[in-house]
Copies of this chain bind each other. A is one copy, B any other.
Amino acid sequence: MYVVLVYDMEADRTQKMLRLSRRYLTHVQNSVLEGEISAGDLEELRGHIEALLKDGESVVLYELSSDSLLNRTVYGEDPTEDSRFI
């Protein structure tokens, strides 16, 4: 399973979400992470997200079949830490 996660947190709580989601996914842009994830880890991640979110904050989680991401283009700054092509 390939997952793209986008979060929208209060400014002073951004690091909490980033720290959590980085345990499972790769940081792609300020508020975006993505990566291959097992069903079990995804379930775990969902639980952590629900526990962390407060009113006014949100997370969108896209689940894709692993071979369905045709292209990713980053315009502007690209903070991706690794250079792997997906």
Chain A residues within CB distance 8 Å of chain B: 1, 4, 6, 8, 28-32, 46, 49-50, 53, 55-65, 68-78
- How many copies of this chain? 2
**In the complex the two chains form, what is the Cα distance from A62 to B62 in whole Å?**
11
The answer on a CB contact under 8 Å between A53 and B30 is no
For A70, list chain B residues within 8 Å (CB): 1, 63-65
Closest beta carbon of chain B to A44's beta carbon, Å = 14
Given contacts A6-B29, A8-B29, A31-B8, contact A56 B76 (CB under 8 A): yes
Residue of B whose beta carbon sits closest to that of A79: B58
Given contacts A6-B32, A31-B6, A32-B6, contact A61 B73 (CB under 8 A): yes
